[in-house]
Structure 1
Amino acid sequence: MTPSTNDREANVVLRALEFRRDRGEWIVGTQGGEQIVALPEIGMAAVRLLAAGHTVEETRRSLRADTGRDVDVRAFAERLAAAGLVASIGDRRFAAEAPAVSFPRLRPHHVRWIMSPVLQGFVLLVPVVALLTALSRPWALPAWGELLWTEYGTFTVLVQSTVAVCLIALHEMAHLMTARAAGVSGRIRLGTRLQFLVAQTEVSGIWLKSRRERLTVYLSGLALDGVIWSGCVMARCFGVNWVLIPVVAMTLVTALANQCLVFMRTDLYFVIQDLTGCRNLYADAGHYLRHVAARLFRRHPKHPLRVLPAAERRFLKAYALGTVMGTVICVFIGFRILIDVTWPLFHRSLANLVDGADPWIQVDALATAVILAGLQVLWARLWWNRHADRVRRVVHSIRTRLCGG
């Protein structure tokens, strides 16, 4: 919609905004909205005046009287509208899409108990007790070799995959439930990070909550993983020898190791980002790396980190270096696994499927081929859903340059 000259006398109806103070600015947004903005003090003052029913012109005059600055409140309101924070400006209405929510019938009052400090203290204590108990009985700690608990390879893979899917579902539900307890909707979806298929819970609205609530949501999945791992270890300590206990425990150990890959925006990434005070660690590191690449090609763009505090700049540069190194290593390992393991296994399965004399070998080969092909297709589909627009822009840019040349 095009702004009209009457907008200066119009009222601005804001959506149900939430906000918190952060480093001299205000973080402002709506639950379920796509954008969260950082406003200076004068911007927050304008928001309060508009929310109180002042017109655009009245807000402008009030700000000028209080601060001596002449603020273009109409343009400010338009930017808020573009961020999805405004319901209407005068007669103009701005539609808002209903956010996608997982388990919409799960209400905050259903899971408010999750935010209890007593429960959280207990959850933190359980892994400590289990680890101390296991140290006195080291034989109770599962070993990697116990993952190979049956001689049937396909059955082993299927069972371990089922266990992994169940544990991932519980992990993501922990994020969703703690977010819902904090008043954030959230949704669970599949995605990709480098060559990995991942499940992730989108809870961008948690950025509007207190630090305690944010960290609780970020760490809730790991906390539940720790409780389950502790249960497995304690069960072994007391003589329970069910064959799937080590499968569950070692799957959780692998998941914890993956969480340390913070360059892929894992749960620990968000914890580090919050504790260091960085607003968007991954994006800022990306801007810095593009700046470095531009300088290598003898271009001199504006330094993207110049406005940030010195300590944050140093941390971002270190994180950017770690991101490059970690990405290169992960992609290299993924490529080697694809060439040395996945493709030979797929090729062997196809050969056994065509030429195998034993029906059981053919069934095993078919199951293996379907699983491998299905995972690759799913990864490709999810990757394309995420990066399709960027790929199209790059292709269009290349075509434009070629045609122009």
Structure 2
Amino acid sequence: MNLSINSQLNLYPLTIRQDKKHYIVEDSLSGDFFEMPKICIDAINMINNGESLVSIQQELKLKNPDEDVDLVEFAEQLLDLGLIKEIDGEAIQVTKKNQTPTGFKWISPQVGRLFFNRVTIKLYIAIIFINIFLIVLNPKLLPGYRDIFLFEAMTLNILTYMGISLLFIIIHEFGHILAVRAHNMPAKLEIGHRLLFIVFETDLTTAWKLKPKQRNVLYLAGICFDQLILFSALSLKLLYPENSILTGFLAIVILDLFIKFIYQCCFYMKTDLYYVLENMTGCYNLMENGRDYLSNWIPFMKKDSTTEAFEGEGSVIRIYSLFYILGLLFTFCLFGFYFVPQAFYAYAQTLPELLHPGGNPYFWDAVVFLGQSILMVGLLLYSWIKNRMEA
């Protein structure tokens, strides 16, 4: 294969959609998506019309005198992305594995639209503001780190919290899935990790098929369900007296959803709110470009991004860098106000019981609690190793 300025290319089938600033190119065979500026789209259209690279380069230079047009370099990029089928009639061997989700088609699009339509979206927005209003008027609704310790047995406390948290994670992800199905597109549920936590993740790659405004609904769907549950919990806690088993469970619910919302504001990870920020600005590599920018100021942050910022994105990247730092501060606050005190309290209550074996039930409670801790660490290590092997 000899790629030169005189070459003629044959590309794999591509679907091109205009976005806020540039264009989204979908590889129809692999399901991969790429962002490209208009000049690249013009080049692709000319390639599909059968023009040679030399004629395309001459035409684009006339239309874009201020641009550095190099069709050989562009063709090499297309080759690296696996988008070229033939060069001068010679087939390019590329193994394409379709990554497009195929699951949850059994959920009717009508069911998705029942939860996500023009009316319900406005309702979810109103609920978010009502929740803020309730907490501002009733600061006692703010959760404390000891809210998860509802029972004397630590194992029961952890199992209760884990069960409630897992239930809400599944509900959160089904919010995303229902929003995807509302557009009659398939979805996929995966397992991963964020920081020290095992998480479920809905593959929202198919969101690139939609307009930017529609994508926001898919990204925020899980938070909408979270806020609806939080509104119910806050309302019930105001209605029922303190020191009851119900208010104890409600306190756990509020704590879990409060932590999950703060976690969503940690923009140094690709959370749902991060994707909304990307989508609203039209800058789709904010994290990578933001880390590159911060590496100029933070010594331990390596500059290893493989992406490049488009023209005019500098100000957005600088603003995102501030959100990145604030997200780190939010994480330290979560550990300082919740996770560290919870861990200290839990181990302070259980470890002394290991010195009293025999018929003491709290001895076995401590043993099971330590077993749970080891299991969680093992699952976390498995998730880390799995992600590294797939990288």
For the 8 Å contact 1:35–1:84, the answer to whether it is kept is: no
TM-score (norm 1): 0.73
Report percent identity of matched pairs.
18
> Which residue identity is paired with 1:45?
D
TM-score (norm 2): 0.75
The answer to which of 107-116 and 217-226 deviates more is 107-116
Report the Cα distance in structure 2 between the residues aligned to 1:146 and 1:332, rounded to whole angstroms.
15
**Counterparts in 2 of 1:366 and 1:105: CA distance versus 1, 3 Å:** farther
Compute the displacement of 1:14 (Å): 1.7
Report the Cα distance in structure 2 between the residues aligned to 1:142 and 1:343, rounded to whole angstroms.
21
**Counterparts in 2 of 1:86 and 1:237: CA distance versus 1, 3 Å:** farther
Compute the displacement of 1:187 (Å): 2.8
**Counterparts in 2 of 1:149 and 1:228: CA distance versus 1, 3 Å:** same
> Which residue identity is paired with 2:316?
E
SS at 1:278's partner residue? coil
For the 8 Å contact 2:266–2:324, the answer to whether it is kept is: no
Partner residue in 2 for 1:26: 23
1:356-367 aligned at under 5 Å gives the runs 356-358=357-359, 360-367=361-368
Compute the displacement of 1:108 (Å): 7.2
> Which residue identity is paired with 1:283?
E
Partner residue in 2 for 1:315: 319
Report the Cα distance in structure 2 between the residues aligned to 1:97 and 1:346, rounded to whole angstroms.
52
Partner residue in 1 for 2:45: 48
Instruction: Please list every run of 5 or more consecutive structure 1 residues that lacks an aligned counterpart in the other structure.
Output: 391-405
> Which residue identity is paired with 1:312?
V
Compute the displacement of 1:171 (Å): 0.6
Partner residue in 1 for 2:272: 267
Compute the displacement of 1:168 (Å): 0.7
**Counterparts in 2 of 1:316 and 1:153: CA distance versus 1, 3 Å:** closer
SS at 2:162's partner residue? helix
1:1-400 aligned at under 5 Å gives the runs 2=1, 8-9=7-8, 11-15=10-14, 17-23=15-21, 25-30=22-27, 33=30, 35-51=32-48, 54-57=49-52, 61=55, 64-65=58-59, 68=62, 76-77=74-75, 79-85=77-83, 90=89, 91-92=91-92, 94-99=94-99, 101=101, 103-106=103-106, 109-110=109-110, 111-128=112-129, 141=141, 144=144, 147-182=148-183, 185-236=186-237, 242=246, 244-292=249-297, 307-319=311-323, 321-322=325-326, 329=332, 337=340, 341=344, 348=351, 352=354, 356-358=357-359, 360-387=361-388
**Counterparts in 2 of 1:134 and 1:341: CA distance versus 1, 3 Å:** closer
Report the Cα distance in structure 1 between the residues aligned to 2:323 and 2:78, rounded to whole angstroms.
31
Report the Cα distance in structure 2 between the residues aligned to 1:249 and 1:330, rounded to whole angstroms.
17
From the two aligned structures, give the one with the greater helix fraction: 1
For the 8 Å contact 1:289–1:320, the answer to whether it is kept is: no
Report the Cα distance in structure 2 between the residues aligned to 1:30 and 1:108, rounded to whole angstroms.
27
> Which residue identity is paired with 1:161?
M
**Counterparts in 2 of 1:4 and 1:311: CA distance versus 1, 3 Å:** closer
> Which residue identity is paired with 1:246?
A
Partner residue in 2 for 1:401: none
**Counterparts in 2 of 1:346 and 1:305: CA distance versus 1, 3 Å:** farther
Report the Cα distance in structure 2 between the residues aligned to 1:142 and 1:324, rounded to whole angstroms.
21
> Which residue identity is paired with 1:47?
I
**Counterparts in 2 of 1:80 and 1:67: CA distance versus 1, 3 Å:** same
For the 8 Å contact 1:108–1:182, the answer to whether it is kept is: no
SS at 2:152's partner residue? coil
Higher relative contact order (CA 8 A, sep 6+): 2
For the 8 Å contact 2:11–2:83, the answer to whether it is kept is: no
**Counterparts in 2 of 1:42 and 1:64: CA distance versus 1, 3 Å:** same
Work out the number of aligned pairs and report it. Answer: 374
For the 8 Å contact 1:154–1:367, the answer to whether it is kept is: yes
Compute the displacement of 1:161 (Å): 0.8
For the 8 Å contact 1:346–1:368, the answer to whether it is kept is: no
Compute the displacement of 1:119 (Å): 2.0
**Counterparts in 2 of 1:320 and 1:356: CA distance versus 1, 3 Å:** same
Report the Cα distance in structure 1 between the residues aligned to 2:128 and 2:326, rounded to whole angstroms.
29
Compute the displacement of 1:288 (Å): 2.0
Report the Cα distance in structure 1 between the residues aligned to 2:350 and 2:230, rounded to whole angstroms.
36
SS at 2:200's partner residue? strand
SS at 2:35's partner residue? strand
